[in-house]
Amino acid sequence: MSTVEEMVDVAPFTIEADHPRNSDLLIQGLENCRLRSAIKPTKEIFVREEGVQVLQPAAADMVKGIPGNIPGMQLHINPEKLEWIMSDPLDGNERMLEQIKKAIDSHSGYSVAKELKAVPLRKGSLDKHQMKTLCRELLYIVNERQAKIVKGPKPTMTDIENLPGNFLLMSSNRNKWRQPRFEKDHERWADELDKTVSSG
C-alpha cells in the first residue's frame, strides 16, 4: 500500500552498477551509498580522438586469476512504497569471493584481510521528494551506460517528472538548507540574492 495518497506510475526497478571503466558509482540521493561496478575482462571504450572503438583492459586483466564478469552491486527502488534496498550479488557466493581473494593475495603489492566478504545489505526509506530526485538520478546513470536495469521496467523521464513531490536542489544535503530545498525555487532565490548583493 502506498505511503502517500498520490498516484505513482513508476514501477519498482533494480539497477546494477556497470561502469565502462569498472569505476564505483557514488549515489548522491542516498547517504554514504557507493556501488561497486561489475568487473569484466575487457570493456568497450570509444576513443573520440581516433574515432574508432577499442577494447580497454580491465581489472580482470591487470590482476591475474581474478574471475571475469564479477557482478556489480545492485540498488532496488520501490517508488510507491518510498523504499530502497542496496545489495551485493556476491553475498552467498563464497566460491567467487575466495577466487577474488586468492587472485589479489597472489598479486604483488596487494593484500586482503583474512576473509573477503560481500558488502552487507542496506535498506531504508525516503520522503517523496528524495525518491523523485533519486529516480531521476538513477535514470541519468542508466542512460549514461554506467549502470543497467536488471529487474523491472526502465522508467521514463515523463513518469518520473509526474511522481509526487518536487526535485531537490541538493539531494545529498541532510543538514540545514542554506539554499532553497527545491529546484523550482532556485531561480527566484538567485534573483533575490543578486538584488541583495547589488544594493549592498
pLDDT tens-place string over residues 80-134: 999 999 999 999 999 999 888 888 777 756 666 677 889 999 999 999 999 999 9
Confidence of residue 192 (pLDDT cuts 50, 70, 90): low
Return the pLDDT at 2.
44
Residue 99: name the closest of 136, 65, 143, 62 by CA. 65
Return the pLDDT at 22.
85
- How many Å apart are CA 164 and CA 129, to the nearest integer? 7
Task: Answer whether residue 53 shows pLDDT above 60.
Answer: no
Confidence of residue 24 (pLDDT cuts 50, 70, 90): very high
Return the pLDDT at 4.
47
- Residue 163's identity, in one-letter code, is L
Cβ atoms of 62 and 96 closer than 8 Å: no
Return the pLDDT at 73.
97
Q: Which residue has the cell 538584488?
A: 195
Between the CA atoms of 58, 63, 99 and 37, what dihedral angle is there, to the nearest 10 degrees?
-30
What are the grid coordinates assigned to 86, written together? 542496496
Return the pLDDT at 176.
59
Task: Answer whether residue 75 shows pLDDT above 80.
Answer: yes
| Mean pLDDT (the chain, rounded) | 82
Mean pLDDT of 190-198: 62
* Secondary structure string (H, E, C) spanning the chain: CCCCCCCCCCCCEEEEECCCCCCCEEECCCCCEEECCCECCEEEEEECCCCEEEEEECHHHHCCCCCCCECCCEEEEECCCCEEEEECCCCCCHHHHHHHHHHHHHCCCCCCCCCCCCCCCEEEECCHHHHHHHHHHHHHHHHCCCEEEEECCCCCHHHHHCCCCCCECCCCCCCCCCCCCEHHHHHHHHHHHHHHHHHC
Cβ atoms of 69 and 40 closer than 8 Å: yes
Bridge partners, residue 55, by sequence: 44
Return the pLDDT at 181.
81
Return the pLDDT at 105.
79
User: Please, what is the Cα angle at 57 between 104 and 43, to 5 degrees?
Assistant: 110
Task: Answer whether residue 172 shows pLDDT above 70.
Answer: no
